[in-house]
Amino acid sequence: MDVNDSIIHIKGIGTAKEKLFNILNIFTIMDLIEHYPITYEDRTQIQLTNEVVLGSKALLKGKIITSPEVRKIRNNLNITKAIAQDESGQFQLIWYNTPYMKNSIVLGEFYYFYGKINRTHGQIQIEMPEYAEINNNKKIFGIFPKYKLTKGLSQNDIRKSINQVINNVDIDDYLNNDLVKKFELYELKQAYKHIHFPESYRQLNTARDRLILNEFLETQLAFKYMKNEKLKNSNALRFSINREVMTKIDRLVNSLPFELTLSQKNVLDELYEDLRNDIPINRLIQGDVGSGKTILAVIMLLICHLNGYQGVIMVPTEILAEQHYKYIESLFSRLEIKANIALMTKFKSSKTRLETLSKVSSGKYDLIIATHGVIQRDVEFLNLGLVITDEQHRFGVKQRKQLTNKGKNPHVIVMSATPIPRTISLSLYGDLDISTINVLPAGRKPIQTYCVNTTYRNRIYKFIDEEINKGRQAYILCPSIEINEKLNSAVEIYESLKKGIFKDVSIDILHGKINNEEKEKTMRLFYENKIKVLICTTVVEVGINVPNATIMLIENAERFGLAQLHQLRGRVGRGNEQSYCMLLTDNKSNTVQERMNVLVQSTDGFYISQRDLELRGPGDYFGFNQHGLPGFKLADLSKHQDILLTANNIVEYIMESGNKDIEFKILDVFNNKLKQISMN
């Protein structure tokens, strides 16, 4: 039997059943084998009648003490009943429309029974139990797989089909004997067998680990392979960092009101190193909120410009694009660096848009600061040399590629403020090199975070007032814009505060429905410290940089995910003053409190994202679907990081050993999965 054969070759599967299996995406024998159980029924312990839990399933052993009797209730219903007994009590067995049970169960004999436990009139009952004779207990005793079903297919249909193929199919293990022994793994065939029919939990876990390892191995190896191929095949655009360029960079750096941190310098060195070695830059720069990624982007854009290429930075929000635009303009004009910089967000009219596009395509604009509109088809560049995307997880690999394809092999930098645990970044950004800014600029004080209920509201407002009197500013962040029954809306809070406690304070509101000019004006006034309290929504979530703001009050904090709260909190604590974050929530549930506690106790983005992952799983938070990776059936990045690391070790071992045979076999499996995904 070949793994690629259709399931129609399996005994018991005809065309009607085949269609049902197809609904579950099972077409070939391999699909069937990889239709892993979603859970297992534990039938390893025999329970006593007096210790069963009502409503759950149990395995009982009992002696039949009343002869099974069949009673006809009505035309289409008859019931067979018998009573069995174990050392702790009696239980009743009930079968519907199964009169032959009368002859299957014998008075005075012992049997195993398995089924859901009820109680009627004080009597423990099992309806329609599965049963087995004492000396033939295999079909009832053990760890039983339970599968995802579809209407018309039973657990037994799937179990029987898998059981039939699992011993007869040829399975080619791409890891050879040496590797299997070296890394103490199950052979693949053994793993497939035991994940479906384990004889012990130990067997089940070892089998599962081997299959998870395979899933990781395939993606890791494919990534490494793609990266190597990219290096071999692409000619890096030559960006020279000669003395003249270095002098300009030094002037830029010296003009800053701070010194670069060692961590920032290290990341720059890694980027320069790529350029010096003629390696196309393909790098993820990750650094916690406020760690100073922007200036690195600016330096790279300067290098690109000095080398005569166009550079683009794509960011997720208009406000952030404007902020970057102003920052770069002011830095460059102070240093008399002559670069034409375009801001490409929402255009006032299609005419201005076309004018801008034509200046981009003719090379009149050197640097472009843009939101995602820049990936549209009609946006063309003359000679795009550098693509920077900020806040990668909002865009996804596809959009990054769309932008990159607008040039011939431009250098690529991805910046992420969402700290991604190492293991995740290995899996998601395996095709990128990773640089990490791992320290915050000196002088930053950890943000003090408190989680309180709304009875503290007035006290917090008073505290904000005191901070304003010291010259500071505050954000009050709301989950919704307009009046909403359940949530505190920005409009409502704004109206009540400007008439109430902050009536003598300059206070304004910012959200997505406000027109661009207004937004820009409000943000400018906030930057200039002319607005003291900004009521806002998550439009400020990423990148906004107002170092003088020291308070972030978050309404209905329970509505936000941990990583998002960390981002929002990161809008304060960006200067040298002590900053505060107040998480306001009346939700007392354990899960909410647990989430809030993570933030209260830690300001370390890497730790927080790790906890976030554990508390809610990777899900589509990281946009797995967008990434187009073959879905993991068993592997879960939040739980199986140790296996992922083993997978990495094995991949390195294989690649170093130069065993192309194994390498290609694994790539084949990966490619087949990719093909299947694109077909689905």
Which DSSP string do the residues of 430-491 spell out, in sequence order? TTSEEEEE-SPPTTPPPPEEEEE-GGGHHHHHHHHHHHHHTT-EEEEE-SBSS--SSS-BHH
Residues of span 379-398 touching ligand ATP by CB under 6 A: none
Which DSSP string do the residues of 149-180 spell out, in sequence order? --TT--HHHHHHHHHHHHTTS----SS-HHHH
- The Cα 1–Cα 171 span in angstroms is 10
For the chain, helix (H) and strand (E) counts, in that order, are 24, 22
Maximum alpha-carbon separation in the chain: 102
Scanning 24-32, 151-159, 259-267, 551-559 for contacts with ligand ATP by CB under 6 A, the matching segment is: 259-267
Which DSSP string do the residues of 7-76 spell out, in sequence order? GGGSTT--HHHHHHHHHTT--BHHHHHT---SEEEEE-SPBPGGG--TTSEEEEEEEE-S--EEEEEETT
Q: How far is the CB of 260 from ligand ATP (least distance, A)?
A: 5
Q: How far is the CB of 366 from ligand ATP (least distance, A)?
A: 21
Residues of span 570-609 touching ligand ATP by CB under 6 A: 570, 574
Nearer CB in complex with ligand ATP: 222/314: 314
Tokens coding 673: 């999965």
- The CB-based long-range contact list for 240-247 (8 Å cut-off, 24+ gap) reads 240/275, 240/307, 241/272, 241/275, 241/276, 241/303, 244/306, 245/303, 245/306, 245/307
Q: What mask of x and - would describe binding to ligand ATP in positions 410 to 429, judged by CB under 6 A? A: -------x------------
Q: How far is the CB of 300 from ligand ATP (least distance, A)?
A: 13
Nearer CB in complex with ligand ATP: 175/386: 386
Tokens coding 159: 């179990």
Nearer CB in complex with ligand ATP: 294/489: 294
Residues of span 441-500 touching ligand ATP by CB under 6 A: 441
Q: How far is the CB of 16 from ligand ATP (least distance, A)?
A: 57
Contacts of residue 30, Cβ cutoff 8 Å, sequence gap at least 6: 3, 4
Total residue count of the chain as it appears in this document: 680
In angstroms, how far is the first alpha carbon of the chain from the final one? 25
Q: How far is the CB of 151 from ligand ATP (least distance, A)?
A: 49
Residue 54: Cβ within 10 Å count? 11
Name the 3-class secondary structure at 310: strand
CA distances from 414 to 251, 360, 393, 432, 514 (A): 25, 22, 10, 9, 29
Nearer CB in complex with ligand ATP: 68/543: 543
Check: CB of residue 105 under 8 Å from CB of residue 90. Answer: no
Q: How far is the CB of 268 from ligand ATP (least distance, A)?
A: 11
Q: How far is the CB of 259 from ligand ATP (least distance, A)?
A: 6
Q: Which residue in the set 217, 267, 268, 289 belongs to the binding site for ligand ATP (CB under 6 A)? A: 289
Nearer CB in complex with ligand ATP: 90/545: 545
Radius of gyration for the alpha carbons in the chain, expressed in angstroms and rounded: 32
Scanning 67-75, 146-154, 286-294, 455-463 for contacts with ligand ATP by CB under 6 A, the matching segment is: 286-294
Q: Which residue in the set 261, 404, 489, 641 belongs to the binding site for ligand ATP (CB under 6 A)? A: 261
CA distances from 54 to 81, 115, 149, 408, 669 (A): 19, 11, 25, 68, 46
Q: How far is the CB of 442 from ligand ATP (least distance, A)?
A: 7
Q: How far is the CB of 368 from ligand ATP (least distance, A)?
A: 19
Which DSSP string do the residues of 498-557 spell out, in sequence order? HHTTTTTS-EEEE-TTS-HHHHHHHHHHHHTT---EEEE-GGGSSS---TTEEEEEETTG
Tokens coding 365: 């604009």
Q: How far is the CB of 471 from ligand ATP (least distance, A)?
A: 17
Nearer CB in complex with ligand ATP: 70/439: 439
Nearer CB in complex with ligand ATP: 218/322: 322
Burial class (CB in 10 A: 0-12, 13-18, 19+), 291: buried
CA distances from 659 to 197, 655, 665 (A): 33, 7, 10
Q: How far is the CB of 592 from ligand ATP (least distance, A)?
A: 25
CA distances from 377 to 141, 372, 374, 381, 628 (A): 62, 12, 8, 11, 21
DSSP class of residue 126 equals E
Nearer CB in complex with ligand ATP: 142/570: 570
- The Cα 497–Cα 509 span in angstroms is 11
User: What is the total count of residues that contact ligand ATP (CB under 6 A)?
Assistant: 19
Scanning 3-11, 59-67, 335-343, 541-549 for contacts with ligand ATP by CB under 6 A, the matching segment is: 541-549
Nearer CB in complex with ligand ATP: 536/635: 536
Nearer CB in complex with ligand ATP: 115/292: 292
Q: Is 258 in the site for ligand ATP (CB under 6 A)?
A: yes
Nearer CB in complex with ligand ATP: 416/488: 416
Scanning 79-87, 367-375, 543-551, 629-637 for contacts with ligand ATP by CB under 6 A, the matching segment is: 543-551
Q: Is 316 in the site for ligand ATP (CB under 6 A)?
A: no
Q: How far is the CB of 292 from ligand ATP (least distance, A)?
A: 3
Q: Is 142 in the site for ligand ATP (CB under 6 A)?
A: no
Q: Which residue in the set 37, 145, 287, 311 belongs to the binding site for ligand ATP (CB under 6 A)? A: 287
Residues of span 545-564 touching ligand ATP by CB under 6 A: 545, 547
Q: Which residue in the set 149, 241, 253, 295 belongs to the binding site for ligand ATP (CB under 6 A)? A: 295
Q: Which residue in the set 260, 279, 487, 501 belongs to the binding site for ligand ATP (CB under 6 A)? A: 260
Nearer CB in complex with ligand ATP: 125/291: 291
Nearer CB in complex with ligand ATP: 173/318: 318
* Residues of this chain that bind ligand ATP (CB under 6 A): 258, 260-261, 264, 287, 289-295, 417, 441, 543, 545, 547, 570, 574
